[in-house]
Amino acid sequence: MMSANVALLIIDMQKAIDHPSWGRRNNSTTEINISCLLSSWRHNGKLVIHIRHSSREEKSTYRPNQEGFEFKPEVQPQNGETIITKSTNNAFIGTELEAILFHNGISTVIICGVTTNNSVEATARMAGDLGYQTFVVSDATAAFDKVDYAGHHRTAEEVHAMSLANLHGEYATVASTEEVLTKLLEKKS
């Protein structure tokens, strides 16, 4: 049985991330893992919050009124599920996310989506700072190859791993989809 005070936050899972301009991505099973989490939340009638990015940047693949703004089919919101639109990397800034969590008595958030080193990390840090028990799902998040500040190419796997390392312990607990579904959400009898 799933705990009553836990919400699933699905961040920026829009068609925008499939655009070639993003480059190479890790965790090719991210959508499958998020779909498994989503199915469990729906089955248990628990709070699901879809967070959609609405970019203000002219060349962004996340701009409204284009295909990239649409949710990916694997994680399409159903009627009655909460959708929050954000225009910054942090899902708490300029949105009603905190109020929705408070109103629903949520004390634990499970975060999945993209990108690990951007919106996922920013939202997880804020959730941890606000006092939520925060979990980031390692195999239900993804990053892209990136050139670091010194000009060195970093693989998506390296970017992802460093972002998770930044979060684990201080801001959140990093867990796999299986751990979330089998260990973290079961009520002990």
Flag whether 162 is in a domain: yes
What pTM was computed for the model? 0.94
Inter-CA distances, 49 with 33, 126, 150, Å: 16, 16, 37
Flag whether 189 is in a domain: no
Domain that holds residue 145: 6-184
- Mean pLDDT, all residues of the chain: 94
Question: Strands 133-142, 146-147: parallel, antiparallel or unpaired by DSSP?
Answer: unpaired
Flag whether 1 is in a domain: no
Which residue, among 145, 142, 135, has the nearest Cα to 167 in the 3D structure? 135
* Count of the separate structural domains present in the chain: 1
Q: Would you say residue 186 has pLDDT above 90? A: no
Q: Would you say residue 185 has pLDDT above 70? A: no
pLDDT tens digit sequence for 15-40: 999 999 999 999 999 999 999 999 99
Which residues lie below 8 Å from residue 130, measured CB to CB, with a gap of 6+?
Answer: 92, 98
Flag whether 110 is in a domain: yes
Flag whether 24 is in a domain: yes
Flag whether 131 is in a domain: yes
pLDDT tens digit sequence for 35-69: 999 999 999 999 999 999 999 998 999 999 999 99
The amino acid sitting at 113 is G
Residue 95, domain CATH = 3.40.50.850
